[in-house]
Structure 1
Amino acid sequence: MVIWLRQTRFTSLFSSLPFSKPFKSISPFPKTTPNSPHFLSHHTLISPFLPSYPNKSNNPSKYPKPTLKFLPNQSHLHNSSSLSFYHSDPNTHKTQNPRSNKIRSKPKPITNPPPDSPQFHLSLSQLPPRFTPQDLCKTLALQKHPLICLQIFNWASQQPRFRHDISTYLITIKKLGSAGLIDQMDYVINQALALPIATTETFFNTIIYFYTEFRKLSKAINVYKLMKKSKDPSSRPSVRTYNLLFAALLSRGTNSYINHMYMETIRCLFKQMVADGIGPDIFSLNSMIKGYVLSLHLNDALRIFHQMGSVYNCSPNAYSYDYLIHGLCAQGRSKNAMELYREMMSKGFIPSQKAYNSLVNCLAIVGEVEEAVRILWEMNEKRRLADCITYRTVLDAICRQGRVGDAMSLLRELQEKDLLGGQTYKKLLYGLQDDYGDSDG
């Protein structure tokens, strides 16, 4: 039942893309009008393309509080994945759920200020009699309380000689989105899109970013569609727009089946980007590689990797190699993984802890024990930590060759060099003794 629901959500999302089957256009942002200039209550907006989550509500308190960094740096793709094929991250042993790192804590509740709060009147007193949008932007930027910012924004809307421009809408959206006030942010977005004001790529990208932070992926896709229809070249999607969507789609999957469905959407977006003449950057290409790895399409990931320089004029970085090495090791392709590992080291890149652990595990499993031990010591030199599963896999591989004494010697050497804690050492030692005996011969 869960898989069926996720597939339904994917189908709805994919069918709304501009390059899919045509459908009747419906505005994703229903018009709303507050009863007073001080619109402070939660006002639920439902998009016709927004699929509902099972057992979840649209309460903004259910969603993570976004970071204050409005448009994060996307110079590279963060080396993180919800899948773990061969090893477990030692830093996650103390957490109850591996996904809890992605789902941040609930935002702190924001108390509604009174309509005639002193902060509100103080901010108004700082505005000149005939203030401009630039003056209002400065006042909103200095105001720390997001709901008072919304009060000031609505108050300014009622002034007969004032008209909001894109800058006042943008800073208000940032203030509300950063505070986790998704419904109030929707209200301001609806106002901005309903008026004939000049929009920019930054304005749309900011909206997409906050929608993806609140897991409103369908609304983010609808904003992307509005950008595609825009006649203003400065408001059309850029590589930053596509990168925001790639990152959001890659964070949705929890297993290879779900990643396979979302990867089809990423692939179509990537084709649309290239068809529009937008050159992908390293983040876009790494997103494609990571998506293909997570969906278990390693040959497609390798194809993108080999086209990076010749087709897209972009050199691979350490993350490109890390994703591929991890994915190849997950499928037992140790030879291909070692080729990429040597190429990576020759370019001066150091594999990540995840890629190192995957490589050592893969080599030990296929019987290349000596190479696995060599890379295990290399990890220590490169300041990369091996986890308990990696150590146990290497020790088991040595013991299966009838070299129990060598395995015990390696275990003691690891302890002498302070690579193993006391509890981990005892766990590994007792495990070897139970499975193979305590012989040192």
Structure 2
Amino acid sequence: MKWPRTITPQHVQKLIRAERDVRKAVLIFDSATAEYSSGYRHDANTFSLIISRLLAANQFEPALHLLNRMRDENLDCPERVFVSFFKSYSRAHRPLDALRLFQKMREFNCSPSPISYVSVFDALVSENQMNLAHRFYRFMRKMGVSQNVVSINVLIKALCKSADTLDSALRVFRKMGDHGCVPDCYTYNTLINGLCSSGKVGEAEELMKEMGERNIEPTVVTYSCIIHGFCKAGQFDDAVKRLDEMNARGIEPNVVTFSSLIDGLCKSGRSLQGLELLGKMTSKRLAPNMITYSSLVSGLCQENKIQEALEILDRMKLQGWKPDAGLYKKVVAGLCDVHRFREAANFLDEMILSGVIPNRVTRGVHTSMQNMVVQGLCDKEDANRAFMVYQNMRALGISAEPRSCNALVDCLCKKGEVFKAAGVVSDLLDDGRAPDECTWNAIVSGFWGRRKVREAAELMQIELIKS
């Protein structure tokens, strides 16, 4: 990049802000650095800007390198840079890195203020590092960090993580006034969510009423928590009423609100009502997420509404969502329940082609699905398709259950495919598993039914008698 004779930090910052690609923004920063020989120097604001761009892209190592450069070039490292690190580490689920960097702040001649303490505390709480979070909170108190609404809200969030400490959260909430703090909407939403998660939806409703008495307007988060609480308690009519109440108050439901209610309805055998809500959701131009679609497919399959489930699955895939092994199993099981085994086998093929293959976590799910389909196809005497599924199982390293092997050998022998049946028996022996009596009887009967084999055996029997 060609620079003018006179470069200013403001000029560099303007170029960095204008560049949307973070890699090119770094190139601008580095190109300006090459002009150090002309006397130009990046200031703290320029370093802070490029670090924030890197952190937004989760590029932590380059950002740390630049932070160290600030120290090496004797620049003051403002606290806002560290706070950006803490929040980015939290977003990336790396709270321990936030804690480690906090412990190094004084190496950069930066003394942490309550903002830094609360940011690290929040990162630990958000990622359920509760033992560390409680120890860090005690350290905050020991260092004389003053209490404010933000820090108390984080403490309440920590205490709401467990049903065992929920009462402590409520006590802290009731004593906020002693510290000169007034609860805000975030305080109430945190407590309402904790109560609903613990099945105390009645108490959550009381807090929601209290919000109104304090002129604190409930938000979509408030209602979403209440609706989720009612669904968890099986009070679906009450949940639907809260949705109607939201609309009456002009509070627009979001994807979480709809998904929670759809999931609850589907789990309670009311999947058609869930479908109606999906229609309302899309009419509001809200895009369903993986939870929305998975809940509907699972619920519809459970109620043997398999055609509707397949339509939702197609819609899900068109929206770019990829079914996982668990969802495929529900569809396959639903098809098997209505004896549509060939379609179930086709879904097994689709699953593998889309890259949903067995791993350490899902191997049991795949094994169950594949064996279910093999047995179903054998019951329908569809020997060739059953054998194809069996071969795919072998290629994926999935073991056929004894019942599947028995059914497949018997089915193949009945169709005259005795050599394929013998191959199945050979596979069992190769795996170190002994075929049971049913399998041996089926294979022997299959070969015995072939004329030349029977004639050869009878001739051998005669010769043995003569000798």
TM-score, length of structure 1 as denominator length: 0.55
Q: Which amino acid aligns with 1:222?
A: K
Secondary structure class of the residue paired with 1:199: coil
Q: Name 2:259's counterpart in structure 1.
A: 243
Q: Is 1:356 aligned to residue 370 of structure 2? A: yes
Q: Name 2:171's counterpart in structure 1.
A: 151
Report the CA distance shift for 1:308/1:209 in structure 2 as closer, same or farther (over 3 A).
closer
In the TM superposition, 1:198-217 aligns within 5 A as: 198-217=217-236
Q: Name 1:278's counterpart in structure 2.
A: 286
Report the CA distance shift for 1:210/1:415 in structure 2 as closer, same or farther (over 3 A).
farther
Q: Name 2:248's counterpart in structure 1.
A: 229
- From the two aligned structures, give the one with the greater helix fraction: 2
CA distance in 2, matches of 1:127, 1:197: 33
Is the 8 Å Cα contact of residues 149 and 175 (structure 1) preserved in structure 2?
no
Report the CA distance shift for 1:396/1:330 in structure 2 as closer, same or farther (over 3 A).
farther
Is the 8 Å Cα contact of residues 348 and 370 (structure 2) preserved in structure 1?
no
Partner residue of 1:170 out of 189, 192, 214: 189
- The ranges of structure 1 where at least 4 consecutive aligned residues each deviate by more than 6 angstroms after the TM superposition are 125-130, 402-406
Partner residue of 1:291 out of 285, 299, 305: 299
Q: Which amino acid aligns with 1:347?
A: S
Is the 8 Å Cα contact of residues 266 and 296 (structure 2) preserved in structure 1?
no
Shift of 1:369: 1.9
Report the CA distance shift for 1:385/1:247 in structure 2 as closer, same or farther (over 3 A).
farther
TM-score, length of structure 2 as denominator length: 0.52
Is the 8 Å Cα contact of residues 296 and 309 (structure 2) preserved in structure 1?
yes
Deviations 1:235-280 (A, max 9, x none): x21122222222222323xxxxxx3xx1221121111112222222
Report the CA distance shift for 1:245/1:362 in structure 2 as closer, same or farther (over 3 A).
same
Q: Name 1:97's counterpart in structure 2.
A: none
Shift of 1:345: 3.5
Is the 8 Å Cα contact of residues 246 and 266 (structure 1) preserved in structure 2?
yes
Shift of 1:429: 1.6
Partner residue of 2:339 out of 332, 336, 342: 332
Q: Name 2:385's counterpart in structure 1.
A: 371
Report the CA distance shift for 1:179/1:198 in structure 2 as closer, same or farther (over 3 A).
same
In the TM superposition, 1:124-163 aligns within 5 A as: 132-141=148-157, 143=159, 145-156=165-176, 162-163=181-182
Q: Which amino acid aligns with 1:213?
A: K
Q: Name 1:73's counterpart in structure 2.
A: none
CA distance in 2, matches of 1:251, 1:390: 31
Deviations 1:112-162 (A, max 9, x none): xxxxxxxxxx99x899999543232133245572212212222336x6965
Is the 8 Å Cα contact of residues 326 and 354 (structure 1) preserved in structure 2?
no
In the TM superposition, 1:18-417 aligns within 5 A as: 132-141=148-157, 143=159, 145-156=165-176, 162-178=181-197, 184-192=203-211, 195-232=214-251, 236-252=252-268, 259=269, 262-308=270-316, 313-318=319-324, 321-350=328-357, 352-401=366-415, 410-411=424-425, 413-417=427-431
Unaligned runs of 5+ in 1: 1-121, 253-258
Q: Which amino acid aligns with 2:236?
A: L
Q: Which amino acid aligns with 1:333?
A: R
CA distance in 1, matches of 2:212, 2:437: 66
Which protein has greater RCO, CA pairs closer than 8 Å, 6+ apart? 1
Report the CA distance shift for 1:405/1:250 in structure 2 as closer, same or farther (over 3 A).
same
CA distance in 1, matches of 2:215, 2:402: 60
Shift of 1:432: 4.8
Q: Which amino acid aligns with 2:320?
A: C
Is the 8 Å Cα contact of residues 173 and 188 (structure 1) preserved in structure 2?
yes
Deviations 1:145-204 (A, max 9, x none): 2212212222336x6965321211123234445555555445434433654313333333
CA distance in 1, matches of 2:354, 2:189: 43
Shift of 1:315: 4.8
CA distance in 2, matches of 1:383, 1:169: 52
Deviations 1:403-441 (A, max 9, x none): 7897576346325315x5xxxx6xx724457x8697674
User: Please, what is the CA RMSD of the aligned residues?
Assistant: 4.1
Report the CA distance shift for 1:416/1:383 in structure 2 as closer, same or farther (over 3 A).
closer
Shift of 1:400: 4.1
CA distance in 2, matches of 1:338, 1:317: 16
Report the CA distance shift for 1:344/1:142 in structure 2 as closer, same or farther (over 3 A).
closer
CA distance in 1, matches of 2:148, 2:392: 62
CA distance in 2, matches of 1:150, 1:207: 17
Is the 8 Å Cα contact of residues 147 and 176 (structure 1) preserved in structure 2?
no
Is the 8 Å Cα contact of residues 383 and 415 (structure 2) preserved in structure 1?
no
CA distance in 2, matches of 1:389, 1:225: 52
Secondary structure class of the residue paired with 1:169: helix
CA distance in 2, matches of 1:194, 1:217: 26
- Residues paired across the two proteins, number: 299
Unaligned runs of 5+ in 2: 1-137, 359-365, 449-467
